[in-house]
Amino acid sequence: MNVIAIDGPAASGKSTVSRRLAKLLGFSYVNSGSLYRAITWEALRQGADTSNPEAVIAALAAARFECAFSSEGESAVSINGRIADEELRDPGINSHVSRVAAVPAVRTLVTNELRSLAAGRPLVMEGRDIGSAVFPDTPFKFYLDASPEIRRQRRAAEGLSDEIEARDRMDSSRRTAPLMIAPGARVVDTSLLTLDGVVEAILDLLKPDGILPQ
């Protein structure tokens, strides 16, 4: 099982780096956050109070979520049979997703779905608990980080203004699968590195294990 786990806080560069790394290696790419965002969007669409775990669970039970791969090898989420795309970019999700992701039933559902995606294919999977909870036995664990100021600048450049520190606190303090540096994970500070620089640093660390660009 070749799963490269890339964890880290918001705006640390996980998504861009993971997508580029997967393409270079010929692996499939999974953004675990898209499932949490899809569930959050659906909970809000149903009018659920995201601070109430029972309301979130009820919304979850009333909808059907699936995750599969596109022809390009990237994960795609569907809600009730419809591929979620614009829904996941709804700016209102950012202020609710950490609360929804903290609900144990939500994490169990997403974890099971993520593990099923790894059957029979090598993956680069990014998130906040991939190396610590979803695939704790993978030897290929990385934790990307950057200074809060750099991460705020990156969010602003994307036109987003969510509170980085608040999300960090919520993600790091939840009881179930908190954001953390997984045992054995190698930390890469992306603050002063370009995208190519981060990808090159990870490739250099994978090279001794025979994982090389195609």
Pairing, β 65-69 against β 75-79: antiparallel
CA-based nearest residue to 15, from 33, 28, 1: 33
- What is the reported pLDDT for 154? 87
Each residue's pLDDT tens digit, 3-13: 999 999 988 99
The residues pairing with 83 across neighbouring beta strands, listed in sequence order, are: 78
- What is the reported pLDDT for 163? 73
Mean pLDDT of 150-159: 84
**Residue carrying the six token digits 């309301």:** 55
Residue 119 pLDDT exceeds 70: yes
- What is the reported pLDDT for 213? 96
Three-state SS for 25-41 is HCCEEEEHHHHHHHHHH
- What is the reported pLDDT for 175? 83
Find how far residue 66's CA is from the centre of its chain: 16
Instruction: Give CA–CA dist 89/85, Å, rounded.
Output: 7
Q: How confident is the prediction for the chain on average, in pLDDT? A: 92
- What is the reported pLDDT for 105? 95
- What is the reported pLDDT for 10? 86
Each residue's pLDDT tens digit, 43-52: 999 999 999 9
Give the CA distances from residue 54 to residues 51, 97, 129, 212, in Å, rounded to whole numbers and listed in that order.
Answer: 9, 15, 23, 45
Mean pLDDT of 197-203: 97
Residue 192 pLDDT exceeds 70: yes
Binned at pLDDT 50, 70 and 90, residue 159 comes out as confident
- What is the reported pLDDT for 94? 85
Instruction: Give CA–CA dist 35/54, Å, rounded.
Output: 19
- What is the reported pLDDT for 143? 97
Give the CA distances from residue 45 to residues 38, 56, 57, 59, 80, in Å, rounded to whole numbers and listed in that order.
Answer: 10, 11, 14, 9, 13
Domains along the chain with CATH numbers: 3-209 (3.40.50.300)
Strands (E), the chain: 3-7, 28-31, 65-69, 75-79, 82-83, 123-127, 140-145, 186-189
Each residue's pLDDT tens digit, 69-118: 998 999 999 999 988 888 888 878 988 999 999 999 999 999 999 999 99
- What is the reported pLDDT for 43? 96
Residue 22 pLDDT exceeds 90: yes
